[in-house]
Structure 1
Amino acid sequence: MFGQRTIRPLTAASLCGIAFIKDTLIAIDSTKGHLLEIDPESDNSKIINPHQVKEFNDVTGLAVWEDTLWVTRGNSIYLSKLGSWGLEHFATLPYTANGVAVWESTVYVSCQKLGYIVIFDRSTRKEITKFYAPGVGVENLTVTQETLWICDRTEQTVYSMDRATGEVNFSVLTPFDSPTGIAVHQDSDGQETLYVAYASEEPYIRDNPNADPNHELTYRDRTFIHPLYYYYNPDKRYALSNGYLIEMSYAEEIAPLEEVYLPDVEWRIALPSETERQTVKQVEPIGIPFTEEVIDGQRVAVFKFDALTPGERHVFGWKALLEVRGIKYRITPKDTEDLPEFSPELQNRYLVDNDDLAMDTSIVRNAARDAIGSETNLLRKMYSIRNYVYDELSYGIKPYIDTPDIVLERGVGSCGEYVGVLLALCRLNGIPCRTVGRYKCPPYGEHQKVPLQPDFNHVWLEFYIPNFGWLPMESNPDDVGYGGPYPTRFFMGLCWYHIEIGKGISFETLSSQGSRLTKEDIPIGDLAINHIRFTILQELPPF
């Protein structure tokens, strides 16, 4: 199971820097100051600095080169001979040093506040050069002969950087949030496996006998180490990462708020899409059979009723078996210069107001102009629009969706309202875009073979770049606070728990006697209660 299991050392509170010495894993518990020697196959661990715990408190970065241990603590970098654990000062930065990696005579140190990875010569202890940090969060490092690997806690991302030039080759999304440490293990055949440490807090229900009621919400440490699998496709500019085999069920239960009679009913529900990151292994009906249609390249289940009469009850829907992985595209503004014209079909469908986007209102048109300023590059325009919307809106959920003009005036929006504003501003600036989504699997990869229910539905969008096609962008999760800097983890990227259903088409529609019913005629939510269930069956094997 080496390389295919989650490592959970007992007693650990907050694992940060990690490194391998052959098959033995070394990790620092930053909260406790414990330097742990961990068996990756059994989770067995021991504290190897029992007399120097205080010296290792608040250590975040860790690296091993030959017989020397390197750590970062506060603003400084230290080194120590393995086994002695006496820390010798190496260098000091003006701000907190986060991560460290060493290869031969070169020492790499990350610093979030500087926004750089600073590179030192080991023998002279002088700064040689520095690279721009690829993400906005706290970053930890490891290095191989040609590659500097960087994990970013806020970005939920691992970057592959050329260690000589500082150019990012590609990046991959991690399957869990808050990655805090990274290491490379090499087996006897020379095969390399990335390991990533994670540290955060998780909510749980505590049974408190002294309270009434006795159940209360509290938080506990959550830390572990997990292998990171990836596959990079240089031609299509994307990298896939860890994924899961998931069973998803979507069912409607007829339960009208007021009894109605509807003759000759066709109830359409979109089915999961086939994409670079999502494979539909199987689909079967729930309750009653359905036929299939293909609408704009998307599979749709069609349930037919002679009539829906007062008092009549049904449960119907679909169950799908899906393989879903994380995906992250690496496309730069240089790649989007001198693009060909959009096709008439794209312009007629995805550059117009066909979804109550209020694109003719002054507040929306002014926002579209202000969002891009004088920018002309398509990718930079898209990035600027996203950041403008994040500056102008904060997240809030409500039971209905207002149009973009109202949302911009209010300054608060749900995920669907973020999407509406983004669609309007993009289309006014000549960027084709469309709505995607519908649900996210609860992001608990360790909770396997138990039913999981999402709390809400969810939507995001895709924008179109000639020569590359449709690219994903999340609606609001990267909006971490006014003024940024905002992470780009879901800018041209999706994690494994995003389930893509019905790209560019309505998720669910209802027709009677051949005429489509609108929400003004009768909202689907007034007719039926939807039931959504996910079951994570297993993690997908390495590539």
Structure 2
Amino acid sequence: MTSIPLPQLMGQTIRPLVASSIDGITFHGDHLLAIDGTEGYLLQINMLTQQTKILNSEHWSDFIGASGLAVIDDTLWFAIEENVYFCSFLANDLVPQLFVKLPSRANGVTVYQSTVYVSCQDRGKIFVFNRETGKEITRFHAPGIGRENLTVKGEELWVTDTLEQTVYCLDRATGEVIFSVLTPFESPTGLAFYYDAATEKDLLYVSYTFLEPSIRDNPNAEPQHELLYSQKTLIHPLYFKYYPEHKYALSNGFLIELSYVEELAPLYPVDLKDVEWRIALPVETHRQKIKHIESVGLPFIEEIQDGQKVAVFKFEQLTHQKRYIFGWKVVLEVWGIKYKLSPRDCEKLPSLPQEFSERYLVDNDDLAMDTEIIRRAAVEAIGTETNLLRQVYSIRNYVYDRLSYGIKPHIDPPDVALKRGVGSCGEYLGILLALSRLNKIACRTVGRYKCPHFTFTKGVPLEPDYNHVWMEFYIPSFGWVPMESNPDDLFEGGPYPSRFFMGLAWYHAEMAKDIPFERLVSEGTPVAKTTVSIGDLAINHVKFTILEELQPPEII
């Protein structure tokens, strides 16, 4: 078989015809094989033309409910319920034969030489069998909590997890996680490496199955348009780069244009003199780089506040009779990031610097740290745990156990939100900050918006529905590490995924870290919110435009 040149494949998104779901993928020569467990189809997809063929036309019913997919020595492997099957691919008879039966439902299957690996979500395990005898050799702890699929590359076992939105790279012999990366889309369901002999490079493809909302034109309804959810599938390259010396990995990046503009339109008479309107600019981090920045409407002066850039717009006088638009537009390179730190890395840490204690362990943002309910929660959240990383994780789970997500017009302090049991991202964050700081864990607020996840809508301005905030906590001798406020709180009572514990998706835009995102100063004095609210003075306009997908300089 001829090999497809890698440059022709790179960046290509595959949308298989007729696939209701994709429950496993693998490569056979230059063709991609995918299993649709819903319909029972074994699909063969041409990588260049995306032409799709059903290979098991006569045996499709034998494959209903199938998941996991591997081909070795022209033998096809997959799982249905508790059973792992194989069948001859070369003869094309595709009649499943039982290999082994697990104590619970099997999800992912992959084969390497004489070894068969099978993942099992119900048991939280990856079982390892001898291919010749069917005897169990060993078993590993599965790294995530969702349905997991598997593939092998050399001495590495690669795992994708639907709930964690993550791909893990494991040591094939021990099951130890080497590193992990976030996927650019939710619900990854399968993965496979394509090796191009001409370039001697590998490209990792990941499949996804998810519900996609759309507006349907229904002439029999009133109003005529209605919301429709339909199940969609796609297969997309996962680009990544691991930096072991810095203990993090980056994955699929995007070049985006972000604009933040205020439209001055006061709701009531106001008269402010010698005004500075200060708006934080995006920051540069491991996962976010500024490529270009410019003013919108009016020029600004760039200042540094606590090490971060702020755009300062100056007005001699602001009244309700005047109208302006002003703000900034920036082109950003953003990536998914996932840190690889273990509790062992957080043993015998040095003391927190004094300046950090004075700034990041105090109640400087209405955190209700002196109330009985918050102080009691701070003790209950960590119990007897002394390891910093485990403490933060315990605090997160404690808050998730006691809050459900909901939004209101304003943010209540942590004691009120904790009593109510319902909170927005800002209220989740307030409680996380309060409990962490009471336990001597330095932490700070980060925000401000998330790009809508429509990665295939390139060149079209997208507007986020809400602003968003999350947290960073500080590990002495290492640095600041991110943790989302509420998105991992998916289930009542858990277990909770850890995708955004020490990780951020590509669509997070970091604009302010522990400084106010927007502030008014009049005649040299900060204007109190109770005196004049920015929301009563202006309408903010936030737009994201996805320009292109980015690839790292090297593909691992």
Residue identity opposite 2:476 in structure 1: P
Q: 3-state SS of the aligned residue for 2:143?
A: coil
Q: 3-state SS of the aligned residue for 2:397?
A: helix
| Structure 1 residue aligned with 2:4 | none
Q: 3-state SS of the aligned residue for 1:370?
A: helix
Which stretch shows the higher mean deviation, 187-196 or 459-468?
A: 187-196
Preserved contact between residue 75 and residue 97 of structure 1 (Cα < 8 Å): yes
Q: Could you list the per-position Cα deviations for residues 231-269 of structure 1 after superposition, in whole angstroms to 9, with x for gaps in the alignment?
A: 000011000000100000000001111020100110000
How far has the Cα of 1:466 moved from its partner? 1.1
- Give the 5 Å matches for 1:187-198: 187-188=196-197, 189-198=199-208
Q: In 1, Cα distance between the equivalents of 2:136 and 2:156?
A: 20
Structure 2 residue 347 is matched with structure 1 residue 340: no
Q: 3-state SS of the aligned residue for 2:512?
A: coil
Q: 3-state SS of the aligned residue for 1:110?
A: strand
| Structure 1 residue aligned with 2:179 | 170
Q: In 2, Cα distance between the equivalents of 1:237 and 1:309?
A: 51
Q: Could you list the per-position Cα deviations for residues 32-62 of structure 1 after superposition, in whole angstroms to 9, with x for gaps in the alignment?
A: 1111110112211111111011011111111
Of 19, 22, 28, the match for 1:12: 19
Residue identity opposite 2:453 in structure 1: P
Preserved contact between residue 236 and residue 468 of structure 1 (Cα < 8 Å): no
Of 17, 36, 49, the match for 1:29: 36
| Structure 1 residue aligned with 2:484 | 474
Q: 3-state SS of the aligned residue for 2:381?
A: helix
Q: In 1, Cα distance between the equivalents of 2:296 and 2:453?
A: 25
Structure 2 residue 268 is matched with structure 1 residue 258: yes
- Give the 5 Å matches for 1:260-299: 260-299=270-309
How far has the Cα of 1:22 moved from its partner? 2.0
Preserved contact between residue 157 and residue 170 of structure 2 (Cα < 8 Å): yes
Q: In 2, Cα distance between the equivalents of 1:377 and 1:75?
A: 38
Q: In 2, Cα distance between the equivalents of 1:305 and 1:291?
A: 12
Structure 2 residue 173 is matched with structure 1 residue 161: no
Q: Could you list the per-position Cα deviations for residues 424-480 of structure 1 after superposition, in whole angstroms to 9, with x for gaps in the alignment?
A: 000000100000011000011111111100000000010000121000000000001
- Give the 5 Å matches for 1:224-263: 224-263=234-273
How far has the Cα of 1:71 moved from its partner? 0.5
Q: 3-state SS of the aligned residue for 1:151?
A: strand
Q: In 1, Cα distance between the equivalents of 2:310 and 2:495?
A: 40
How far has the Cα of 1:81 moved from its partner? 0.6
Structure 2 residue 98 is matched with structure 1 residue 89: yes
| Structure 1 residue aligned with 2:504 | 494
How far has the Cα of 1:221 moved from its partner? 1.4
Q: 3-state SS of the aligned residue for 1:172?
A: strand
Residue identity opposite 1:148 in structure 2: L
| Structure 1 residue aligned with 2:141 | 132
- Give the 5 Å matches for 1:54-65: 54-65=61-72
Q: In 1, Cα distance between the equivalents of 2:506 and 2:71?
A: 32
Q: Could you list the per-position Cα deviations for residues 169-211 of structure 1 after superposition, in whole angstroms to 9, with x for gaps in the alignment?
A: 0000000000001101111133111110000111111001111
- Give the 5 Å matches for 1:439-458: 439-458=449-468
Structure 2 residue 521 is matched with structure 1 residue 511: yes
Q: In 2, Cα distance between the equivalents of 1:292 and 1:435?
A: 22
Of 39, 57, 62, the match for 2:46: 39
Runs of 4+ with deviation above 3 angstroms = none
Structure 2 residue 56 is matched with structure 1 residue 49: yes
Preserved contact between residue 382 and residue 395 of structure 2 (Cα < 8 Å): yes
Q: 3-state SS of the aligned residue for 1:452?
A: coil
Q: In 1, Cα distance between the equivalents of 2:438 and 2:310?
A: 30
Preserved contact between residue 22 and residue 35 of structure 2 (Cα < 8 Å): yes
Preserved contact between residue 275 and residue 317 of structure 2 (Cα < 8 Å): yes
- Give the 5 Å matches for 1:346-495: 346-495=356-505
Preserved contact between residue 266 and residue 512 of structure 1 (Cα < 8 Å): yes
**What is the TM-score of this pair, normalised by structure 2?**
0.97
| Structure 1 residue aligned with 2:3 | none
How far has the Cα of 1:310 moved from its partner? 2.7
Structure 2 residue 132 is matched with structure 1 residue 123: yes
Q: In 1, Cα distance between the equivalents of 2:385 and 2:164?
A: 25
| Structure 2 residue aligned with 1:142 | 151
Q: State how many pairs are aligned.
A: 543
Q: In 2, Cα distance between the equivalents of 1:332 and 1:230?
A: 21
| Structure 2 residue aligned with 1:103 | 112
| Structure 2 residue aligned with 1:540 | 550
Preserved contact between residue 22 and residue 186 of structure 1 (Cα < 8 Å): no
| Structure 1 residue aligned with 2:193 | 184
How far has the Cα of 1:105 moved from its partner? 0.5
Q: In 2, Cα distance between the equivalents of 1:467 and 1:27?
A: 46
Q: In 1, Cα distance between the equivalents of 2:437 and 2:494?
A: 24
Preserved contact between residue 265 and residue 320 of structure 2 (Cα < 8 Å): no
Q: In 2, Cα distance between the equivalents of 1:332 and 1:325?
A: 22
Which stretch shows the higher mean deviation, 246-255 or 58-67?
A: 58-67
Q: 3-state SS of the aligned residue for 1:502?
A: strand
Consecutive unaligned residues of structure 1, counting only runs of 5 or more, are none
Preserved contact between residue 87 and residue 95 of structure 2 (Cα < 8 Å): yes
How far has the Cα of 1:482 moved from its partner? 2.1
Q: 3-state SS of the aligned residue for 2:454?
A: coil
Residue identity opposite 1:103 in structure 2: Y
Q: 3-state SS of the aligned residue for 1:501?
A: strand
Consecutive unaligned residues of structure 2, counting only runs of 5 or more, are 1-7
Q: In 2, Cα distance between the equivalents of 1:493 and 1:310?
A: 43
Q: 3-state SS of the aligned residue for 2:431?
A: helix
Q: In 2, Cα distance between the equivalents of 1:220 and 1:488?
A: 27
| Structure 1 residue aligned with 2:5 | none
Preserved contact between residue 287 and residue 314 of structure 1 (Cα < 8 Å): yes
How far has the Cα of 1:541 moved from its partner? 2.2
Q: In 2, Cα distance between the equivalents of 1:429 and 1:520?
A: 32
Residue identity opposite 1:145 in structure 2: G
Report the RMSD for the aligned CA atoms in angstroms.
0.8
